[in-house]
Chains A and B, each alone.
Chain A
Amino acid sequence: MSAGLSREQAIAIAAAAVPAEAVVVAANGHVSRALHAVADRPANFYMIGSMGLAPSIALGIALARPERLVVVFDGDGNVLMGAGSLATVAAKRPRRFVHLCFDNERHASTGGQRTSSAVVPLERLAEAAGYAFAARATDEGGFRAALARAFATDGPAFVLVKVKPGGLPPGTARVEITPEEMTDRLRRVLAGGAT
């Protein structure tokens, strides 16, 4: 399998497409570290554990604050682990909810072990569950087009983008913000209405 984009390229494209008013919940592992390295902001929440649960955290925010746009930066291993949550998101049908899956078909942060997303089409799981929009992108043009449609969707949207396997670029820092600081800064954003 070959894909046009690296994970870092895809995350940078997605981060630039996220509106300033959105809350972002990023999955544990390299997805969080890559997002933090390119576009940290107080409205980004980085999971360091609780694998599989990024869309659930995001859904909690979305149900508590339905007017907010909530975006999930997820990975294939995470989506597989929390696949049941695709049903919950679809059933509760948050109107402003964009669920991105950066699919390298690997558990990158534990040494690159394979996941089944090479043969299991995760965007089809989301579509079957009832997401309002679901798409797979394999190159930059397709990813940008899918992102635009996802952010314009009334209802939960899922975009899977295939990315090349590989580790983080040398020098990518760990997320140094403490868990408590991450909670507090997001609480301030959500309480104050600003980012």
Chain B
Amino acid sequence: MTPGEDFVARLEARGFDFFTGVPCSLIAQVLSALERGVRGVYVEAVREDEAVAQAAGAYMAGRKPVVLMQNSGLGNSLNAIVSLNQIYRQPFLLVVTWRGFEGKDAPEHLVMGEAMPAILDAIRLPWEVYAHDRIDAALDRVEARFTERRPSALVIPPGVFEGHA
């Protein structure tokens, strides 16, 4: 089982059953697992804010949503997060990758790579950097935020979902 497959399996075991997003190569393993088939719903969104809004609808319909995106899409999704999910109290797990991590990446990722922590803090979206050996503790915290009806984020740096477990 790859780390990506394990991640999806653990999410499903905790009842996450609606997955939507726009791809990033840093989570290709996770997306492959979703594409191979999940018990719940998997939607390929055209834009990151669309995925966040789908999660809002799915939550109201009784699902436990996960939104996946590259951090280049975080800007695209801000209005949905702050004027829909946060104020309407429609929680979701945001899995967002860290392109531009430590300032090492292509030019289009460098500003967001540096700004992302401050952006997440500014909109008061709880987040933590994900590591596979801390998965259960991290998901416990995500579920605690869910109980409070707040979105929260797991930020995926390079290398986490590569190779085999």
Chain A contact residues, CB within 8 Å of chain B: 25, 45, 47-53, 56-65, 68, 82, 84-85, 87-88, 92, 179-180, 182-183, 186-187, 190-191
Contact = CB atoms under 8 A, between A and B. Distances in A.
B54 A63 contact: yes
A53 B53 contact: yes
Interface residues of B, number: 33
**B-side interface mostly:** helix
Contacts of B63: 60, 64
A186 B60 contact: yes
Contact of B61 (A65, A82, A182): A65
A50 B90 CA distance: 13
Contacts of A50: 49, 53, 79-80, 83-84
A171 B65 CA distance: 39
A186 B5 CA distance: 34
A61 to B, nearest CB: 4
A187 B89 contact: no
Interface in B6-51: 18, 20, 41, 43-47, 49-51
Contacts of B158: none
B89 A56 contact: no
Given A53-B80, A58-B57, A61-B61, A92 B49 contact: no
Given A60-B54, A63-B41, 15 more contacts: A47-B84, A49-B84, A51-B79, A60-B18, A60-B59, A60-B65, A61-B58, A61-B61, A63-B54, A64-B41, A64-B57, A65-B62, A84-B50, A88-B50, A179-B87
B45 A190 contact: no
A87 B46 contact: yes
Nearest to B88: A179
Given A48-B83, A50-B79, A64 B18 contact: yes
A53 B60 contact: no
Given A64-B58, A64-B63, A190-B60, A183 B41 contact: no
A186 B89 CA distance: 12
A64 B43 contact: no
Nearest to A91: B44
A187 B60 contact: yes
